[in-house]
Amino acid sequence: MWPLVRLAAGAFASPGAFLQVLAAGRYRTSLVNSLALSTAAAFVSVAIAIVPAWVFARERFPARNLARTAVSLPLTFSGVLVGFLVIVMLGRIGAVPKLAGFLTGRELFAGSAYTLAGLFLAYLYFEIPRAVMTLEAAFRHFPPELDAAARSLGAGPIARLLHVTLPYAAPALYSTLAVTFSASMGSFGVALVLARRFTVAPLEIYTELTAFLNDAVAGALCIALAALTFGVDRLFARRAA
């Protein structure tokens, strides 16, 4: 707790720091950007992860281990590397624009790595594997007897999904949302590489510390970011319970 206490002491020593952070301006904008981006990334990554997680947990097929390794590979990458990969694919002379130019004559998506959409894709790139692995562990414990019982009672695939599978998996889904949201809120390397036209809270903290040596505002931003993350996590945890 000592580092946290020091951080809070530094932030509260300067009463204006919190007012600066919460007043309209780049600090509050960075917090709102972080919150919106992380929430969207968490929901979309969990939505995309449901099917692969279910397949990895319940099905056996050729190259299953290879596919599982490929899906979990981005978990080992640093944020800076993920940012670099997104630039290679969606930069101004990236692979996707060049491929689009070859196919259609127009270099679509050129430079989109540096937009909000590019950062969102980068967040998805490292959040989807996290969501798949977390949900897979939960789906492994899903009792197949429940599904079989519902089927024997005449329930179709949609009815079983809505009334059996999803209610049973809801706590795992909320927990995965909390995990992916927290990881996105604290993501720094990706934003450092890609965020050109907007800002997120970890970048502002870094700038305040390294460029302006403004410990008070950096500490206040840290506490505001931690409080936001904790608050949203508690919401997810309450839903999971």
Partner 1 sequence: MSLPVSPRRVARTVGIAVTVALALCLVAPLVVTAAGAFVRADWYGQRSEGAEAVGTLGLFRYVLGLWSGALVTSLPESSSASPRRTRASRRSSPASRAWVR
Q: Considering the complex, what minimum distance in angstroms separates the CB of residue 156 from partner 1?
A: 8
- Can you tell me which of 129, 189, 202, 219 binds partner 1, judged by CB under 8 A? 129
Which of 124, 133, 118, 119 shows the shortest CA–CA distance to 71?
A: 133
For the CB of residue 68, give the shortest distance to partner 1 in the complex, in Å. 8
Give the number of other Cβ atoms within 10 Å of residue 70's Cβ. Answer: 11
Could you tell me where the DSSP H helices lie in the chain?
2-13, 16-22, 26-58, 64-72, 79-90, 95-104, 116-139, 144-152, 157-160, 166-185, 189-194, 201-210, 215-240
Q: Which is nearer to partner 1, 21 or 85 (CB)?
A: 85
* Contacting residue, 9, 13, 88, 108, with partner 1 by CB under 8 A: 88
User: Segment near partner 1 (CB under 8 A), from 32-40, 46-54, 176-184, 205-213?
Assistant: 46-54
CB-wise, 5 or 66, nearer to partner 1? 66
Instruction: Compute the radius of gyration of the chain from its Cα atoms.
Output: 21
Number of residues located near partner 1, criterion CB under 8 A: 30
CB proximity list for 183: less than 8 A, separation 6 or greater: 126, 127, 130
Dist CA 4 CA 14 (whole Å): 16
Cα–Cα distance list, 29 to 21, 119, 122, 203, 218 (Å): 9, 16, 20, 12, 15
Our finding on whether 117 is near partner 1 (CB under 8 A) is: no
Give the contact letters, 157-196, x = binds to partner 1 (CB under 8 A), - = no.
x---------------------------------------
How far apart CA 147 and CA 150 sit, in angstroms, is: 5
Binding string, residues 47-66; x marks residues near partner 1 by CB under 8 A: -x--xx-xxx--x-x-x--x
Give the residue with the Cβ less far from partner 1, 3 or 62. 62
Residue with token string 């970048």: 203
Residues that bind partner 1 (CB under 8 A): 48, 51-52, 54-56, 59, 61, 63, 66-68, 70-71, 73-74, 84-86, 88-89, 91, 93, 95, 98, 125, 128-129, 156-157
